[in-house]
Structure 1
Amino acid sequence: MDSHARNPGIALDPAMFEGHAVNRSATERRAATLGTRRSLKKQHQAAWLVNAVRLIDLTTLAGDDTAGRVARLCAKARHPLAPHIVAGLGLGDRRLTTGAVCVYPTMVPHAVRALDGSGIPVASVATGFPAGLMPLHLRLEEIRWAVDQGADEIDIVITREHVLKHDWHALYDEVAAMREACGAAHLKAILATGDLQTLRNVHAASMVAMQAGADFIKTSTGKEGVNATLPVSLVMVRALRDYGAATGHRVGFKPAGGIKSAKDALTWQILMREELGRDWVNPDLFRFGASSMLGDIERQLDHHVTGRYAASSRHALA
């Protein structure tokens, strides 16, 4: 995440989002065309799938996570594609890893050890993930603890009530305090869009999080009833574009939750490419929060190389 200056944030400016209308029907129509406007075949599809691997925050957020599971996931992050696929694609000695490994705070030390020397960032969820309903001082302490353990990126969750009540000052102050607690670690603000009720709320929450200094805005925890969707993502991406045009600061985007297939990987990259340009299909500005998606990408690339589909068990994550 070091190829551009971090978003320093700006003073809270409600004029950038209050009164901003979002046409749901038009948003849904535009989102529905993303998977149909471009046809990626053969080597072009393979190239986009290889790029998608670079964008994955390979994630385990289970109650029964162990040091062993995290170590196996980190091994997959270091070598996400089987050797015969790498050779068949002609990648040779080119270094290919996932964008990061994302875990709970207590798993951070295990991930740091397993990824030592790889250059792969360790991301940690924090702030009472996934609900975020803890006193603010405890959420800030959790951020500081995860950073002290070696986390390079922190995925925070906002208080949804602030959005639902349109208490933008409270939301701004909360995210700004979390950004300060992160120090040098990058902050990804999870908006939990499935809980925000309206697309206008999604747009406003996106703007406030960016104004407060978020380095990324992220759709979901993956634990809501509705997680990442293309219409919600389109609203957030256009908020990114508007914020950048107004301030000159670039902020990243991370869809998460329910993104499982190679087809999803292609569609979301098309969204970023068409709405924001080529810079936003790189890991410093775009990530997928996913785990099972990597298995399907590897399966599709195996088919591209060999001409046949392998059993899914041959592409286990860990």
Structure 2
Amino acid sequence: MTMSPIAPSPTAFGVGGAPFADVTASDSALRRFLHGLPGVDPVGLEARAASLGTRSIKTTAKAYAIDLAISMIDLTTLEGADTPGKVRALAAKAVNPDPTDRTTPMTAAVCVYPDMVATAKEALRGADVKVASVATAFPAGRAALGVKLADTRDAVAAGADEIDMVIDRGAFLAGRYLKVFEEMRAVKEACVREDGTAARLKIIFETGELSTYDNIRRASWLGMIAGADFIKTSTGKVAVNATPANTLLMLEAVRDFRAQTGVQIGVKPAGGIRTTKDAIKFLVLVNETVGEDWLSNEWFRFGASSLLNDLLMQRQKLSTGRYSGPDYVTVD
């Protein structure tokens, strides 16, 4: 079993009704807070994640889990060769994942680069599918703050419902936590539209580059106190992406953050989740760690486009008793 982090008392987070004001007043204060979080027991964390991954579920529960997983997918295309036609095709698949079965749920969102937001928005007009856009010099995040903010504002102005930003991992690993915090706060402000509404902000940590579970816990708390609506494991562009262990650690963080503040934050594992079996393991993690409050696409997402095809094939297998042929699903 992992030890749940016990954050300092809420009274230590700020004064005058301003949560975390004292914590974020200086680099040294922020460092004391983040390094004051309990250390992670790697063996216990990985054992807990592995144990939950062995849970079996009945056929009726599996059918529910498959539909739930489909509804949680951010269907994504983030390639240099993306075209308006490819984005429109992806949007059509998001709305109608299985043309032979109209009972199949829509996916949660379509995720694209900022210059494709308007195309995706038009293609999804009238559908209950969000448009998400990566921003802030995705995936490396190596750009000046002004460039990152312009990237974000362009996507929001084009109609993005959600922004997926990447943190400056170099600054974080160098211990420049206040710089990372202030950048996240600035992007959060850039998500606000002229009418006062705002795009939801997903903050990507690139956990495969953070080296330690302690760093993932610190990044999770840093993102949450900066105003993240979601915390996200990865870009999907590095060797190590979402794992049961790092996702479990982030789920524990959002659970403890809500217990301390009353604020609920979503979690998005991204990259490397390819099969129905994988998806169900992650849903078990959610159910057992944070409970039913997070079992919706409002609070949990999969950044795993290739996962959709396997979910569709397994869904048909449950319905018909046989696997479909190779032409049953599209190749994205």
Query: Hey, what's the Cα distance between the residues in 2 that align with 1:81 and 1:110?
Result: 22
The residue that corresponds to 2:125 in the other structure is: 116
> What does 1:228-267 correspond to in 2, within 5 Å?
228-267=242-281
Task: After TM superposition, give the deviation of residue 16 of structure 1 in Å.
Answer: 5.0
Indicate the SS of the match to 1:232. helix
Which of 295, 313, 317 matches 1:281? 295
Task: After TM superposition, give the deviation of residue 12 of structure 1 in Å.
Answer: 6.4
Query: Hey, what's the Cα distance between the residues in 2 that align with 1:164 and 1:99?
Result: 32
> What does 1:52-67 correspond to in 2, within 5 Å?
52-67=69-84
The answer to whether the Cα contact below 8 Å between 1:162 and 1:171 also exists between their aligned partners in 2 is yes
The residue that corresponds to 1:293 in the other structure is: 307
What CA deviation, in whole Å up to 9, does each residue of 1:162-221 have, x standing for no partner? 221222211111100110011101100000000001110100011011100010000000
Identity within the alignment, %:
46
The residue that corresponds to 1:193 in the other structure is: 207
Question: Do the aligned partners of residues 317 and 118 (structure 1) sit closer, same or farther apart at CA in structure 2, a change above 3 Å counting?
Answer: farther
The residue that corresponds to 1:4 in the other structure is: none
Task: After TM superposition, give the deviation of residue 234 of structure 1 in Å.
Answer: 1.2
Matched, 1:135 2:144: yes
Task: After TM superposition, give the deviation of residue 54 of structure 1 in Å.
Answer: 0.7
Task: After TM superposition, give the deviation of residue 137 of structure 1 in Å.
Answer: 0.6
User: Counterpart of 2:191 in structure 1: which amino acid?
Assistant: C
The residue that corresponds to 2:316 in the other structure is: 302
Question: Do the aligned partners of residues 228 and 308 (structure 1) sit closer, same or farther apart at CA in structure 2, a change above 3 Å counting?
Answer: same
User: Counterpart of 1:170 in structure 2: which amino acid?
Assistant: K
Question: Do the aligned partners of residues 187 and 66 (structure 1) sit closer, same or farther apart at CA in structure 2, a change above 3 Å counting?
Answer: same
The residue that corresponds to 1:18 in the other structure is: 35
Q: How many residues align?
A: 302
The answer to whether the Cα contact below 8 Å between 1:241 and 1:276 also exists between their aligned partners in 2 is yes
Task: After TM superposition, give the deviation of residue 243 of structure 1 in Å.
Answer: 1.1
What CA deviation, in whole Å up to 9, does each residue of 1:98-157 have, x standing for no partner? 001001111111101100011211000000000000001100010000001110100000
Which of 33, 44, 52 matches 1:34? 52
The answer to whether the Cα contact below 8 Å between 1:162 and 1:170 also exists between their aligned partners in 2 is yes
Root mean square deviation, CA, Å: 1.6
What CA deviation, in whole Å up to 9, does each residue of 1:58-107 have, x standing for no partner? 111111111111111100111123434x5xxxx4xxx8210010011111
Query: Hey, what's the Cα distance between the residues in 2 that align with 1:201 and 1:130?
Result: 19
The residue that corresponds to 1:159 in the other structure is: 168
5+ residue gaps, structure 2: 1-17, 24-29, 193-197
Query: Hey, what's the Cα distance between the residues in 2 that align with 1:123 and 1:100?
Result: 6
The answer to whether the Cα contact below 8 Å between 1:295 and 1:312 also exists between their aligned partners in 2 is no
Query: Hey, what's the Cα distance between the residues in 1 that align with 2:35 and 2:269?
Result: 24
Query: Hey, what's the Cα distance between the residues in 1 that align with 2:72 and 2:142?
Result: 29
Indicate the SS of the match to 2:53. helix
Query: Hey, what's the Cα distance between the residues in 1 that align with 2:56 and 2:330?
Result: 28
* TM-score of the superposed pair, with normalisation by structure 2: 0.88
5+ residue gaps, structure 1: 1-7
Query: Hey, what's the Cα distance between the residues in 2 that align with 1:12 and 1:127?
Result: 27
Question: Do the aligned partners of residues 317 and 286 (structure 1) sit closer, same or farther apart at CA in structure 2, a change above 3 Å counting?
Answer: farther
Matched, 1:179 2:188: yes
Indicate the SS of the match to 2:202. strand
Query: Hey, what's the Cα distance between the residues in 1 that align with 2:66 and 2:326?
Result: 17
Indicate the SS of the match to 2:150. helix
User: Counterpart of 2:44 in structure 1: which amino acid?
Assistant: A
Shifted more, 24-33 versus 10-19: the winner is 10-19
Matched, 1:272 2:290: no
Query: Hey, what's the Cα distance between the residues in 2 that align with 1:49 and 1:153?
Result: 24
